[in-house]
Amino acid sequence: MTTLNPYLGFRGTAREAMEFYQGVFGGELLLSTFRDFGAEVEPDELDLVMHAQLTGDAGVVFMASDTPKHMDYREGSNFSMSLSGPDTDEARLREYFERLSDGGTVQQPLSVAPWDDSFGMVQDRFGVAWMVNIAAPAEG
């Protein structure tokens, strides 16, 4: 099953914001930093949030990250739509990525990411930012 979640962007305040939202919605908050993934960012950005996911007590799920200095950031338009799913949805998710790219701008081609999933980013022709994450096949 493909999942659609809002994905919020921040400039250095993702941890604080997500902890606040956890206080509002309860549930489990998972945080990973740029350092955790060995991402290439400025040294003072290594401990910023590269990915956070809040799964609230009542089923509310959303994600967030800090936007590094080398990427465009405009407060008020700091959100994306995130499509994700297991490798069994791979063909459909790849098709969504291609369709969303039609007339849009691919910001990161769909490729294997440091966390082993396939990941890509595209801004569609209407200006909506999309992230597609295809879970790596389970080992076993």
Question: How far apart, in whole angstroms, are the C-alpha atoms of residue 51 and residue 53?
Answer: 7
Q: Is the pLDDT of residue 11 over 70?
A: yes
> How much of the chain exceeds pLDDT 70, in percent?
97
Q: Is the pLDDT of residue 89 over 70?
A: no
Q: Is the pLDDT of residue 76 over 80?
A: no
Burial of 93 (0-12, 13-18, 19+ CB in 10 A): buried
pLDDT digits (tens, 9 = 90+) for 45-72: 999 999 999 998 878 898 999 999 999 8
Ramachandran category for residue 76: left, alpha or beta (phi over 0 → left; psi -120 to 50 → alpha)? left
For residue 90, name the pLDDT band (cuts at 50, 70, 90): low
**Mean pLDDT score, 92-111:** 91
Q: Is the pLDDT of residue 75 over 80?
A: no
> How much of the chain exceeds pLDDT 90, in percent?
54
Question: How far apart, in whole angstroms, are the C-alpha atoms of residue 49 and residue 32?
Answer: 6
Element holding 106 (H helix, E strand) = strand 105-112
Beta-carbon-side half-sphere exposure of residue 2 (alpha carbons within 13 Å): 17
